[in-house]
Amino acid sequence: AQSVSQHNHHVILSEAASLELGCNYSYGGTVNLFWYVQYPGQHLQLLLKYFSGDPLVKGIKGFEAEFIKSKFSFNLRKPSVQWSDTAEYFCAVKTGANNLFFGTGTRLTVIP
């Protein structure tokens, strides 16, 4: 069965620090990969997605993610975080089925 692992449960950074959140999935076939963000009190929003082509994808608000097929990974990065990036981040995988499999999420706290 498909699964998505996010090993960092809670990350605390100071503003301007660099961010990398890990995401690993288990599925041997073709996947579509997503990062969603949930700001406090708001609903899930798409940050970025990968379905084919360049494995380095850029999303909104300066986020990017790199798909490394050999490592079954899709880590999220941002070179310099801001206080407004404080949120919960979810990695998700879509396989042949139409539903998304989500990781357990990583809570990011950015200290001003």
Partner 1 sequence: DTGVSQDPRHKITKRGQNVTFRCDPISEHNRLYWYRQTLGQGPEFLTYFQNEAQLEKSRLLSDRFSAERPKGSFSTLEIQRTEQGDSAMYLCASSLSNTGGPANEQFFGPGTRLTVL
Residues that bind partner 1 (CB under 8 A): 4, 6, 32, 34, 36, 42-46, 49, 51-52, 90, 92, 94, 97-105
Q: How far is the CB of 16 from partner 1 (least distance, A)?
A: 28
Q: How far is the CB of 50 from partner 1 (least distance, A)?
A: 8
CA distance 62 to 81: 9
CA–centroid distance for 30 within its chain:
18
Ramachandran quadrant class, 109 (left: phi over 0; alpha: psi -120 to 50; beta: rest) = beta
Closest to partner 1 by CB, 42 or 70: 42
What is Dmax (Cα atoms) for the chain?
42
Closest to partner 1 by CB, 81 or 103: 103
Closest to partner 1 by CB, 29 or 112: 29
Cα-only R_g, the chain:
13
Q: How far is the CB of 9 from partner 1 (least distance, A)?
A: 8
